[in-house]
């Protein structure tokens, strides 16, 4: 389950930021997650709770913000939102799409006390 290693990376970022800003406790983590990131949300939530034990984010709420898949259509030259990686262009039906987003994963912000 790669979600566990993703959460270990998140923990490292949280702990680094907590030290830099003299934070004692993180109560909420908002994470932006692209549609095509290949992350199973239930597994991510489970791994988050396990990995955050004995850290400044123990017991913190994980809020996942879904980001859509985006692509540039070379047929109509529009940037479009797509549901699945190999969908045709929703504007013109073309099939020449270059992914422009949807595989991101980044911490948007932390709520601290």
Using a pLDDT cut of 90, give the percent of the chain over it: 94
- Residue that the structure tokens 């045709």 belong to: 88
Token pair of 40 as six digits: 């199973």
Distances (CA, A) of 11 to 38, 55, 75: 20, 8, 42
Give the C-alpha separation, 37 to 18, whole Å. Answer: 26
pTM of the complete model: 0.86
Domain region containing 25: 2-112
36-69 confidence digits (pLDDT tens): 999 999 999 999 999 999 999 999 999 999 999 9
Contacts of 12 (CB under 8 A, 6+ apart): none
Asked if the model's pLDDT at residue 21 lies above 60, the reply is yes
pLDDT reading at 84 higher than 70: yes
- How many folded domains does the chain comprise? 1
Q: Are 59 and 112 in contact (CB under 8 A)?
A: no
CATH number at residue 39: 3.30.2320.80
Spatial distance between the Cα atoms of 60 and 24, rounded to a whole number of angstroms: 12
State the average pLDDT for the chain: 95
Question: Is 78 within 8 Å of 91 (Cβ atoms)?
Answer: yes
């Amino acid at each position: 389950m790669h979600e566990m290693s993703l959460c270990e990376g998140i923990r490292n970022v949280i702990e680094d930021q907590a030290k830099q800003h003299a934070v004692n406790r993180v109560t909420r983590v908002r994470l932006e997650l692209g549609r095509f990131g290949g992350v199973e949300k239930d597994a991510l939530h489970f791994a988050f709770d396990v990995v955050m034990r004995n850290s400044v984010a123990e017991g913190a709420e994980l809020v996942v913000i879904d980001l859509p898949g985006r692509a540039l259509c070379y047929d109509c030259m529009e940037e479009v939102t797509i549901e699945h990686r190999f969908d045709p262009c929703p504007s013109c039906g073309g099939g020449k799409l270059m992914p422009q987003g949807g595989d991101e994963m980044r911490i948007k912000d932390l709520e601290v006390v």
